[in-house]
Structure 1
Amino acid sequence: MYFKHKPDFEESYKRYEAFFHGETLDRPLVSVIIPVENPGPVPKKE
């Protein structure tokens, strides 16, 4: 499977699968959200 903005999707998918089975592959699964003041408009789909 290929995603334009996520070319390593298969590798990421394996990490998520391991996470949901209580395992860790080569590094921990991390999600970071950074608040932005006055964000611009959401881009429209191509």
Structure 2
Amino acid sequence: MKVCFNFFIKLAKNIGDEKFTFNLRFRHLYNVYSSKAESYEARD
């Protein structure tokens, strides 16, 4: 969890003021994570 948090802080710093781009990327990453989580649950 901590690694993920640090990753997002680093991502936010790299993007800087481009909040719109950050929101799009965050949403994309969230969607990817959600779909992976669902596929893991489906495997069980």
More helix by share: 2
Greater Rg over alpha carbons, structure: 1
Q: TM-score, normalised by structure 1?
A: 0.35
